Amino acid sequence: MGNLLQRLVMLSYREADKNDARLLFKWANDAEVRGQAFNVEKISWEEHQKWLQKKMCSSNTKIFILKDGDQSVGQVRLDWDNDQKAIIDVSIDSACRGRGYGGQGIKLISEAVVMRGLVKEIVAYVKTDNQASYRSFLKAGYHNDEQKCFNGVEVYQLSYRVEGDQ
């Protein structure tokens, strides 16, 4: 019966700020995260600071920190274009994986940004060998559009759209 009992997770989120730089850097350089990224190379602190400053100043990017109570458990980033189509990036703290935070966080943020009118469609590119992330996106209400080559890697392309646009 242990598998049937799951802890009810009440995730919340907040927008990331410059004080999250070290935390985001830690998550970005996690070995599993790097292995599933399209650029698998470790990121230097200097590169991260420049990248984060650029993202924080962009009106087409939002970075959210997922919270379970007082604990930061992961991040969700959205980058979008003028067509209101965003690409989503997610990472969960290594100590917090396997608890459902990924799917719940994806759903929470996706619903929030669509309801706020920031985007009409969100696209995820998940490497085909990353079954945990693939399942998280499906649980969050994303649809598997196709399997394709993206940045030279075989991926699932999944999407989340405003009701009626599907």
Quick one: pLDDT at residue 81? 83
Burial of 17 (0-12, 13-18, 19+ CB in 10 A): exposed
Quick one: pLDDT at residue 164? 52
Quick one: pLDDT at residue 163? 65
Quick one: pLDDT at residue 49? 96
| Domain annotation for the chain: domains and CATH numbers | 11-120 (3.40.630.30)
Q: Which residue numbers in the chain have pLDDT < 70?
A: 1-9, 38, 163-166
How far apart CA 105 and CA 112 sit, in angstroms, is: 11
Identify any residues that bridge with 119 across adjacent strands, giving them in sequence order: none
Residue pair 15/62 in contact (Cβ under 8 Å)? The answer is yes
What is the tens place of the pLDDT at every residue in 131-145?
999 999 999 999 999
What is the tens place of the pLDDT at every residue in 86-102?
999 999 999 998 899 99
Nearest to 10 by CA among 80, 90, 84, 70: 70
Quick one: pLDDT at residue 3? 41
Which DSSP helix (H) or strand (E) runs through 154? strand 153-161
Quick one: pLDDT at residue 36? 78
Nearest to 127 by CA among 107, 104, 153, 102: 153
